[in-house]
Structure formats: structure tokens, C-alpha cells
Chains A and B, each alone.
Chain A
């Protein structure tokens, strides 16, 4: 694919975190992004080391869905003298294997897996809830 010009007058990105990428320019090799998250929420904030491992959870062993094979119809793209012009791009957050690119390229590959664990300890109120009850 012949690349075309992407012109942006002003870019404002506040935060990029957790395997997020902001890319300005063309890239033939594309981007490969991964992010694995275990969010552990306890009613008492005490944590030991090495308590939770990704391999303990089936979600992280699940095979990635395979893309369907290309269909019989072949596509040809013609982009001569077809620039993309944008005045302002304002993005507050880019996170969790996400990607913002100004330019052409690919292939883009991204993967995120999240397990959210809530650990409720009997007899102990979460701090935020206890503060709300006291008000």
C-alpha cells in the first residue's frame, strides 16, 4: 500500500500508560502491544509478594482467536493526492495496549487480558465504605 500524507496541526495527549503507544510517522513493521492485568482489590490493603500469578488463571492460557483467511476478492487502494488533514487531536488517555498513530503502516496487533479479583475479608469494612458510613 502506498502511504499518503497525514497532517495534524496540534496534538495534545495527556497520559500514556500500560503498554500504550503514541506514534507519529509511518512504520512498515507495525506495532505489537501486550498488557496483562490482575486487579486485586481487598477490603484491607495488605499484600504479600508473589501472591497472584498469571498462570493460575485460565484466561491467560486461552488461545487467541484466529483471524479468518482472506476472502477471494482482492482489493487495490489508490491514494495519490489524498492527504488526511486534521486541525487538532486532543486525547486525554491512552492505556492498556492501545495505540494512537498519525501516519501509515501496520499490521497492528494488540492484546489485553484483565482479571478483576475482589477479596472481601469478613468483619473488615473497606476503608472507602467505612469513611462513607461515618459521614
Chain B
């Protein structure tokens, strides 16, 4: 089996009319150009303890009797 220890990449001209994107979010990247490396992370965590059922927030005052 042949092994390769070098890879040559020849970039050619790129021509694009228009790019329309609604959103770039949560560690995303839109790059018009070149880069050597790109490291992007994103976590979205909704474990069971993220849902709290209980009166942690102050309750509103009760209406006064006789009104």
C-alpha cells in the first residue's frame, strides 16, 4: 500500500454571486478566506435539574379581604 507524506493543495480563483445567511450562532464561523486551523465548541445543556418546579420566586401578594 502506497503511503503519502506530503499533500499539495492548489487553490484556484473562486467567484460567487451572493451569499445570504439568516444566522451565524453558537460558535459558528463564516470565513471568506483561508485559515490554518479552526477550533469551535458549543454546549447546550438541559439536564433534569434545569427544570425547577417550586416557589423559588417570591409569590405575588394576596388580594386583601373585603375588596
Interface residues of A (CB under 8 A from B): 1, 3-4, 6, 8, 20, 26, 30, 33, 35, 42, 44, 46-47, 57, 59, 62, 64-65, 67, 72-79, 81-122, 124
Contact of A62 among B4, B28, B38, B43 (CB under 8 A): B43
In the assembled complex, 13 residue pairs joining A and B whose CB atoms fall closer than 8 Å, in A order, are: A72-B5, A74-B7, A75-B9, A86-B32, A96-B26, A100-B24, A102-B33, A103-B33, A110-B41, A114-B26, A117-B51, A118-B52, A121-B54
Residue positions of B touching A, CB distance < 8 A: 4-46, 50-60
Cα separation A35 to B44 with both chains bound (whole Å): 12
Contact between A107 and B24 (Cβ–Cβ < 8 Å)?
A: no
**Which residue on A lies nearest to B36, using beta carbons?**
A106
Q: Say yes or no: A88-B13 contact (C-beta < 8 A), given A44-B60, A101-B33.
A: no
- Whether B19 contacts A88 by the Cβ 8 Å rule is yes
Residues of B within 8 A of A114 (CB): 26, 43-45
Check B57–A86 contact: CB distance below 8 A.
Answer: no
* B33 close to A119 (CB less than 8 A): no
- CB-defined contacts of B12 to chain A, threshold 8 Å: 82
Q: Which residue of B lies closest to A86 (CB)?
A: B16
- CB pair A92–B23 under 8 Å, yes or no, is yes
Give, as a whole number of angstroms, the nearest-CB distance from B23 to chain A: 5
Residues in A whose Cβ lies below 8 Å from that of B50: 115-118
